C-alpha cells in the first residue's frame, strides 16, 4: 500500500483538490480577489440556466469543437495515408508536417493574424491576385472570426492526428492488404474493410482526446480574439468562464461554469465509451 502513496498524494493534490475546490467555489458568491464569500447553494447554477451569454458560449464551444475535431480527423487520416506511402523525400515531409504542432501558440496566432489581415495580409492579396475574390475577405471581422479560428486551429492540431494514425498504419500487417489484392479488392474496399477497422482503436482515442481538448481550448481562442471587439464571435465556454472570473470578478459563477463544462465533458465521454463498447461487442 505504501508504494502507491506518492501517486495518491500527487493525484489528490493536483487533481482531486483543485476539482473539489472548484465544485465548492461554485456554491459560493465569491469575489475573485477578496476573501469574503457567501453560500448560495445552487444559486450560481440557476443563474447560469437563465443566462443568455452562457447558452451562446456553449453553442460556440460545440461548433468550434465539432468543426475542428471533424476536420482534423478527415485531414489527419488523409495526410497519414499519403505519408504512409513510399515516395522520395518522405522523411523530410513527415518532419515538416509536425511543424505546426511544435511551434508555440502565440507565434502561430501572431503569424496567422498577420497573414489573414485584410489590409496587408498575404492570403487576401493572393486571393485577389488569382481572382478568386473581388474584395478582401475580412477574416478577423465579425462575420469570419469563427471560420478563421477553426482554420488556424485545424492547421495547428492536425499533426497530432497524423502522427497517431501514421504510427498505427505502420503496424497493420501487410499480409492483409496482399490477401485483399489477391481477392480483387479495389483501393477503396481495402481502405474501408482493412485500414479503417484497424484504425478504430486509435481513432477512438484521437476523437476522444481531440474533442475534449478542443472543447476546453483556451489559449488559441483567447489569443485569436484578444484585442478585437469581434472576439465576442468566438467567446466559447472556457473564455466566458475566464471572463466571469477575471473581468466580472465573480469567482463563484466562473467556477460553476467550469464545473458545468467538466460535467458536460464527462457525460459526452461516457456516452462515447458506451457507443464504442456496444459497437465492439457487435463486431466481436
Residues that bind another protein (CB under 8 A): 29, 32-34, 47, 53, 117-119, 128, 134-136, 138-142, 145, 227-232, 243, 245-251
Rounded distance, CA 57 to CA 61, Å?
Answer: 6
C-beta of 13 vs 247, nearer to another protein: 247
In whole angstroms, the minimum distance from the beta carbon of 270 to another protein comes to 33
Contacts of 224 (CB under 8 A, 6+ apart): 109, 113, 145, 148, 149, 152, 231, 234
Structure-block grid coordinates of residue 45: 447554477
Place of cell 465544485: 23
Shortest separation between residue 53's beta carbon and another protein, angstroms: 8
Q: Which of 245, 188, 189 is nearest to 218 (CA)?
A: 245
Residue 26 Cβ vs another protein, minimum distance, rounded to whole Å: 15
Rounded to the nearest whole angstrom, what is the least distance from the CB of residue 251 to another protein in the complex? Answer: 7
Q: What are phi and psi of 49, to 5 degrees?
A: -60, -30
Residues 6+ apart with CB under 8 A from 117: 124, 139, 140
Which CB, 88 or 134, lies closer to another protein? 134
Residue closer to another protein (CB basis): 117 or 198: 117
Return the residue matching grid coordinates 471572463: 243
33/188 with CB nearer another protein: 33
C-beta of 139 vs 160, nearer to another protein: 139
Residue 248 C-beta: closest distance to another protein, Å: 5
Nearer of residues 25 and 162 to another protein, judged by Cβ: 25
Cα separations (Å) of 103 from 80, 96, 108, 209?
20, 12, 7, 20
Distances (CA, A) of 107 to 21, 51, 111, 282: 33, 35, 6, 46
**How far apart are CB 237 and another protein at their closest, in Å?**
15
Amino acid at each position: 500500500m505504501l508504494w502507491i502513496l506518492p501517486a495518491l498524494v500527487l493525484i489528490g493534490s493536483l487533481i482531486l483538490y483543485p476539482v473539489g475546490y472548484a465544485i465548492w467555489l461554485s456554491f459560493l458568491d465569491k469575489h475573485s480577489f477578496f476573501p469574503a464569500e457567501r453560500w448560495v447553494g445552487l444559486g450560481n447554477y440557476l443563474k447560469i440556466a437563465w443566462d443568455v451569454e452562457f447558452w451562446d458560449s456553449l453553442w460556440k464551444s460545440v461548433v468550434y469543437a465539432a468543426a475542428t475535431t471533424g476536420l482534423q480527423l478527415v485531414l489527419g487520416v488523409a495526410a497519414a495515408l499519403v505519408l504512409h506511402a513510399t515516395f522520395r523525400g518522405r522523411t523530410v515531409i513527415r518532419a515538416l508536417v509536425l511543424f505546426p504542432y511544435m511551434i508555440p501558440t502565440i507565434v502561430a496566432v501572431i503569424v496567422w493574424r498577420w497573414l489573414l489581415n485584410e489590409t496587408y495580409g498575404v492570403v487576401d492579396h493572393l486571393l485577389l491576385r488569382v481572382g478568386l475574390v473581388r474584395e478582401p475577405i475580412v477574416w478577423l471581422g465579425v462575420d469570419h472570426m469563427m471560420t478563421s479560428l477553426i482554420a488556424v486551429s485545424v492547421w495547428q492540431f492536425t499533426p497530432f492526428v497524423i502522427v497517431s494514425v501514421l504510427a498505427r498504419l505502420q503496424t497493420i500487417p501487410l499480409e492483409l492488404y496482399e490477401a485483399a489484392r489477391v481477392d480483387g479488392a479495389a483501393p477503396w474496399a481495402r481502405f474501408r474493410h482493412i485500414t479503417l477497422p484497424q484504425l478504430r482503436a486509435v481513432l477512438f482515442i484521437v476523437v476522444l482526446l481531440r474533442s475534449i481538448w478542443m472543447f476546453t481550448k483556451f489559449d488559441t481562442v483567447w489569443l485569436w480574439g484578444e484585442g478585437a471587439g469581434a472576439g465576442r464571435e468566438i467567446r466559447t465556454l472556457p473564455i466566458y468562464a475566464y471572463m466571469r472570473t477575471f473581468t466580472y470578478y465573480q469567482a463563484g459563477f466562473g467556477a460553476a461554469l467550469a464545473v458545468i463544462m467538466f460535467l458536460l465533458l464527462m457525460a459526452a465521454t461516457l456516452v462515447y465509451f458506451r457507443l464504442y463498447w456496444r459497437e465492439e461487442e457487435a463486431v466481436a
